[in-house]
Amino acid sequence: MTTILSPVLLLLFCCALLPFAATSRIIEIPLSKREFSSVHSARAYTERLRISQQPSISSSNTRNFFKPAIQTLFEKGSIAPIVPLKDYEDVQYYGEITIGNPPQSFKMVFDTGSSNLWAPSVECKDLSCVRHARYNHTQSRTYVKNGRSFNITYGTGAVKGYLSQDDVMVGGLYVKNQVFGEVTRELGNTFLNAKIDGILGMAFPQIAVDGVTPVFNNMMQQGLLEKNLFSFYMTKNPQSVSSALILGGVNEKYYSGPITYIPVQQQSYWLMYMDDVALNGQNMQLCYPACAAIADTGTSLIAATPDIMNPILNSIQVNEDCSNIDSNPSVTFILSGKSFTLTPRDYVLKISSQGQTQCVAGFQTLNMNTSGFIILGDTFISTYYTVFDYENKRVGFAKSNQNL
């Protein structure tokens, strides 16, 4: 006997299948910007920044002390991992995802400087875990056991646990069978006071711990995106809620002018060549033959090895009361022959809480066993709308529209 569905029933049946269909589209995910709960926490943050800006080695000696990052790049095929240098306690922009069915919500930093997804487990009893949302795989009907050990070391701590598999929802995109770290120990203070529960890495698979396929790569493989790229808009306006991660495309309302693309030199981090840094248009001759620069949404500031950062910091003096912002120089980063300039209004951070505001330059010194290396973090990305083009292996920058 043949059953014939009426047109109405057929329409309802097709609509019911829509949530499970793999549709290619552009998705926009709102990002929250960190707010400080007290003047004390704001002051503690600015104090950490000021300490990180203290010159650790004189710039005249760093070329003999460090091995240049570009030399290391060609010798080993990759630069030294930056993950141990990260301090996610001060992460500025984050968004929400869900893991499992029924969905369990987590606040994540979408981090282009790492490649793994991880979330705290209910099995974790450390205070850093207890203060945050925790994943319970016994409550998810789509959970699949993996069990391989998982651990990552950070600058001031580490996370440990095991790999698990479950479905992940990111901005309405349903990513099936995602392997991620289920964290059972959070050691140190890295995440104790952080606004985030975990990390969603968006760099290349080559640097993923345990060879796990990153979330964005699974999105591409499952045909969920209109284009194989994503982009970030980060507002500097503390009153605005318009910061966003756009998956599968760009949103022209967030930037003005053309997007200038810089080729990625290595499929690990989003790594580019930097030719030099200029202050008020005057080249400083800091890179020979070139420096290594990465675009990293998981780093709050612009951070560099002392050979690059010391000369910059020696030329900048930002008063805590914000009284001399405009007397500081513009800073230009020259990437593969293209110039990207930050004015003092772009790179000076205003940290406010309970009616009090302090100013500090958005730069930081890195202590690592190399030279000629810079991380273009949120201070840069909030000035330039940034496109991470996986298909064409390039990073694009356009001047952000800060009037939203």
Which distant-in-sequence residues (6+ apart) come within 8 Å of 10 by Cβ? none
Handedness of CA 294, 349, 338, 251 (dihedral sign): positive
**pLDDT at 38 exceeding the cut of 60:** no
Q: Which CATH number, 1.10.287.10, 3.60.21.10, 3.40.640.10, 2.40.70.10, labels domain 37-66+251-400?
A: 2.40.70.10
Residue 116 and residue 307: Cα distance in Å, rounded? 30
Strand partners, 135: 121
194, 154, 191: which is closest to 41 by C-alpha? 194
**pLDDT at 150 exceeding the cut of 60:** yes
> Using CB atoms within 10 A of its CB, is residue 281 exposed (0-12), middle (13-18) or buried (19+)?
exposed
Domains of the chain, by residue range, sit at 37-66+251-400, 90-221
Q: Are 140 and 101 in contact (CB under 8 A)?
A: yes
Amino acid type, 188: G
What is the DSSP pairing of strand 394-400 with strand 157-170? Answer: unpaired
pLDDT, tens only, 280-319: 999 999 998 899 999 999 888 899 999 999 999 999 999 9
Fold assignment, 90-221: Cathepsin D, subunit A; domain 1 (2.40.70)
Q: Are 112 and 296 in contact (CB under 8 A)?
A: yes
Q: Are 113 and 232 in contact (CB under 8 A)?
A: no
Residues with active-site annotation: 111, 296
pLDDT, tens only, 105-119: 999 999 999 999 999
Q: What are phi and psi of 267, to 5 degrees?
A: -90, 75
Q: Same CATH topology for 37-66+251-400 and 90-221?
A: yes
Strand, helix or coil at 308?
helix
